[in-house]
Amino acid sequence: MLTLDSVRDAARQISGIAHVTPVLTSRTLDDLCEARVFLKAENFQRIGAFKFRGAYNVISRLGADELNRGVTAWSSGNHAQAVALSAAMAGSTATIVMPADAPESKVAATRGYGAEVQFYDRFTGDREAMGNTLAAERGLTIIPPYEHNGIMAGQGTAALELLEEIGQLDELRVPIGGGGLMAGSATAAKGLFPGIRMVGVEPEAGDDTRRSIAAGERVQIAVPDTIADGQGAEIPGELTFGVNRRLVDAVDLVTDDQIIEAMAFAFDRLKIVLEPSGATALASVMFREHRAPNQRIGVILSGGNVGLQRFRELMVPAKA
């Protein structure tokens, strides 16, 4: 059961290991958004994204036998790096299933943390089936990207830190891929401040959670064609959707062009680098239609893992 207490327990488990990431503010951003905006900068987290929180919370609790056999996971990049680093820190090994078109920087980083990488075709392959086969053949422990209470609780520590530092917010905007970050964040936020409005953010081409909430059941979509590769889920997780359908008040969509503009703003005015998935919640607050003066809005910047060449390519249309 995912509760505020389980998020607090995760915070104790990762304390002194995961970074307490900074909360950034900008008068320029406040003026643009007509609100007080507080940015939880998970691009400064270990491995460059929030994913380390959940992975370390789970892997650091494994028994000696499980650690000796090793762990496996499937991921487009950030969870891969988080599992690889957490396994290495725990004295274990990791085998990661990644899409063949994963960003080169994320593949290199995952290998750099000591993991073995096996590739699959994002459009024709089944990464979960491949991971399950590896686990069965090698006796590996599966570390899911989001379908695990310990993962969700660990991810929720980002929101817990934000709210403990900043206090009550009117609204918290959180990117949604598989839904683990939102599930943990919403559990923490609603547990502390029941009246807070939780807004999920998805890329326009990957709106599986928005459709699912509207339908009242999980809806599967085609593989999303979006620059936000970290939000490429085709269907919400069963566990995460069970939480999010209760706690999420709205899901906003952003276009790839809006994501690029948010990345450019973050670089130009905030002096930080965000990957596309890490900028979706920022884009949503920058381009939101309905505005209420003097609102206090929290935004989770979920990661900054984008290589130099890819960042330059994305910034060309923004510059134009």
Catalytic positions, written as ranges: 51, 76, 202, 206, 208, 302
- Pairing mode, strands 94-99 and 116-120: parallel
* Contact between 215 and 206 (Cβ < 8 Å): no
- Nearest Cα residue to 121 out of 227, 256, 205, 223: 223
- Nearest Cα residue to 207 out of 103, 284, 128: 284
CA distance 273 to 302: 11
CA distance 265 to 209: 27
- Nearest Cα residue to 172 out of 69, 281, 45: 281
CA distance 173 to 217: 22
Name the strand (E) or helix (H) holding 181: helix 180-192
- Nearest Cα residue to 50 out of 169, 202, 207, 156: 156
Place of tokens 């599930």: 183
Q: Which residues lie closer than 8 Å to 196 by C-beta, 6 or more apart?
A: 168, 169, 170, 171, 172, 189, 190
